[in-house]
Chain A
Amino acid sequence: MTKFVLKRLAHTVIVLLGVSVMVFFLIRYLPGDPLDVLFTQGSGDEVTAADDLAEGRRRFAEGIGMVGSLPSQYLNFLSEIVQGDLGTSIFRRIPVSTLIATTLPLTLQLAIAGQIVNILLSLPLGIVGALKQNSIWDRGGTAFALIGTAMPNFWQGIMLILIFAVWWPILPVSGVMDLGLSVEHITGIPIVDAFVTGNWPAFWSIIRHLILPAITLGASASLVRILRSSLLEVKHQDFMDAYRARGLRERSVTSHMMRNALPTTVVIFGIRLGAIIGGSVVVETVFAYQGMGWLLINAINQRDYPLIQGIVLTFTVFTVLANLLSDIVHGWLDPRVKVEAKT
């Protein structure tokens, strides 16, 4: 197991290095020179006078670390991101890391809420589907997942707004909490901070603001099919028949089934996390939820390259770490994986 974890860790480090190289080049190989794009179109408020242009350019180039040879630029870039320095936002003039530190907790809060909705929907549908295979419940669950998969979640979000905020106005449609409320900063995750400090008005407001985005993010019940099929796979394995033959009650057969289907589900869950994070970009935009995804779209509209770079990197590092974690948990739950890793 230790060997498996070490190997997986080493692999993760390589992947993360690769990711950093790619992000580095993506920003540097913008069409033409990003500096030209920025400084000839005059989209920045600081570049109004012609003589300011050269100075602005230089300052900007320095700001995003675009001076010196490519390898040295990269090494600088790498050593800075390792220290948590992601540069400074061009338009906000705030360190990118600060911006991420304030928006990431919101995105996490939303992603977890979305995943809770997903699990609440998927678990019963998947289990019933597998136990009562081909029953009306099973078919219903499959159809639900099929529909959820095809539904663009930005549209789903807009329709939820239409229903619960326009036609039947019971829920807020934008932001993290009501204006005028605030929570003390402890963990950075508003809902936790509100809870810990006993700030109930803020706590409820945060929950009310989370409901629609979380449903939008999680209601596709993407886990139904996977859960159902991994349960079915176990259900049809020989040892399950052996249990039945030995006279185990159906209830405990079922619990054996669940335990054996768990590893696969965990892996898929990990892989899905990347998808959830991607989805949060769209959902945050729909609900003006000021998380990292919302910030990314803003940064793109403002051509704030250091910020784009920082957010893309953070999103990806998170996904990679989530995958690593789910792999390790999977390896721990399913002994076969360790054997595979050895060969």
Chain B
Amino acid sequence: MSENPPRTELMGSSEFTNHHLGRTLEVRNLVKSFKVGSESFGKAERIKAVDDVSLFVPAGTTMGLVGESGSGKSTIARLICRLLEPDSGQVLVDGDEVTAGTKIPKGYARKVQIVFQDPTASLNPRWKVRRLVAEGIRVHGLRSRSETKERVAELVSLVGLPEHALDRYPHEFSGGQRQRIAIARALAVEPEVLVLDEPVSALDVSVQAQILVLLQELQAASGLTYLLIAHDLAVVERFCDEVAVIESGRIVEAGDPEIIHSRPEHPYTKALVEAHPVPDPHERTMYVHAQDKAEVAE
């Protein structure tokens, strides 16, 4: 694991540089099917939501996963996070298997975290931000009480929220801010891999860019490995090092985002590209650099 690329030390925080060596994420021949329809008379039909999917995401890079609704993207995300048991196949983080069997050593739970599409639903409405962000630290007993407090404040400012956010409930925030809280919560356990399941598609277009920029900054600072799920090829293209296109549970095409976008080979990919017309390259750059943090100001 020493082949990991050297990491820039933007964060200045020693934890980040020492423990946050973003590692590889590997998925091997993952299969998952679901029962559908009536079970009453014995013969339930099954659909393969994920059908023999393999992916390799090098440390500190971002892999985009694109496909239309129902193609199995979220199912892959859930399999990676052990929210679902695969029928077969493995998920390896940093070479260690994280999906085998039912009992996973607690330490592994820290390696992969997930950010969901709907930030409203992903934060317990009855908890204040402080407790939400601290939960992971507490569960794993990572720090003492006072250190936890400090660390939570640090995380909240890291994701660009003001300190007074700590004592508020999720409903007091905008969608973009809630997504920042969700990110801080995931980062609290110092994961190596972050699965982002359409993290911006529930947000206003103007806010989407801010969140993507934040994620990019975090990656640059700590070398996190991302699996970014989207149904919009355009979002993925400007943000990812590599892209995989999924149709009905199967990866149909993978490779460089620019190439896939400009010269899609698979008919499905072509259809996807046509569904989202190529934005002007110039405009695209501006989009990424739009670091308007107005919404954070309060």
Contacts and interface: CB of A to CB of B under 8 A. Distances in A.
Please tell me whether chains A and B touch each other in their complex, using a CB distance cut-off of 8 A: yes
Range class of the A interface residue count: under 10
Contacts of B37: 342-343
A7 B37 CA distance: 15
A158 to B, nearest CB: 48
Contacts of A343: 37-38
Interface in B21-57: 37-38, 40
Nearest to B38: A342
Interface string A320-343: 000000000000000000000011
Contacts of B38: 342-343
Contacts of B40: 3, 7
Interface of A is mostly: helix
Contacts, number: 6
Contact-residue bracket for chain B = under 10
Interface in A1-35: 3, 7
Contacts of A7: 40
Interface string A233-273: 00000000000000000000000000000000000000000
Nearest to B37: A343
B12 to A, nearest CB: 55
Nearest to A343: B38
Interface in A79-96: none
A342 B44 CA distance: 12
Nearest to A7: B40
A307 B61 CA distance: 77
A331 B256 CA distance: 56
A3 B37 CA distance: 14
A343 B37 CA distance: 6
Contacts of A342: 37-38
A271 B159 CA distance: 54
Nearest to B40: A7
Contacts of A3: 40
A66 B37 CA distance: 46
A343 B35 CA distance: 11
Nearest to B41: A3
A40 B237 CA distance: 87
A275 to B, nearest CB: 30
Nearest to A10: B40
B103 to A, nearest CB: 34
A7 B40 CA distance: 8
A148 B40 CA distance: 42
A3 B40 CA distance: 10
Nearest to B36: A343
A343 B40 CA distance: 9
A342 B37 CA distance: 8
A83 to B, nearest CB: 31
A106 B38 CA distance: 43
B195 to A, nearest CB: 30
Interface string A37-49: 0000000000000
6 contacts: A3-B40, A7-B40, A342-B37, A342-B38, A343-B37, A343-B38
Interface of A: 3, 7, 342-343
CB-based closest 6 A-B pairs:
A342-B38, A7-B40, A343-B38, A343-B37, A3-B40, A342-B37
Interface of B: 37-38, 40
